Each structure stands twice: as structure tokens, then as C-alpha cells.
Amino acid sequence: MLDAVVGAVIMVVVTSSLLYSIEVAEKAFDQAGKYPLSKGERELLQSVGISGGIDQEKFWKENVNEAPDQVF
């Protein structure tokens, strides 16, 4: 009887851990690309001809921030 209770508790813990890990992964995907440009990203844009300041922010806004979050 005790073995069944311990087994049930283990199953509940494993199931809740799995659901939590899925939730964390979904949050990571939702937040991907939502951060400001890093120094290395700014340098990369400059190396391909997009000058600093307004051009970089425009590129960031048009291509990353307003990109669709889901594929239909």
C-alpha cells in the first residue's frame, strides 16, 4: 500500500515538472528577439552597411520587433 502512495507522489511530481518545463520553454520562445541590440549586433549591422542610430533602430523595428510571433 505504501509503495502505491509513493509511486503516485512520484508520478505527480514528474508530471508537474514536465508541465513546468514546457511553460518555461514557451516563455523563452515568446521572448526571443524582444531585447535591444547588443554591442556585437550593432557592429554586425554596421559591417553590412546599416549605419548606427536611427537606421539600426529602424531595421530592428521592421524586421524583428514586428515580425509575426506564430507561423500559420
pLDDT confidence bin for 49, thresholds 50/70/90:
confident
What is the average pLDDT value for the chain, to the nearest integer? 81
pTM of the model: 0.47
- Which residue did the predictor score with more confidence, 49 or 72? 49
pLDDT reported for residue 53: 67
Q: How far apart are CA 12 and CA 9, in angstroms?
A: 5
Question: Would you say residue 20 has pLDDT above 70?
Answer: yes
Q: How far apart are CA 37 and CA 54, in angstroms?
A: 13
Provide CB contacts within 8 A for 55, sequence distance 6+.
Answer: 45
Question: Would you say residue 30 has pLDDT above 70?
Answer: yes
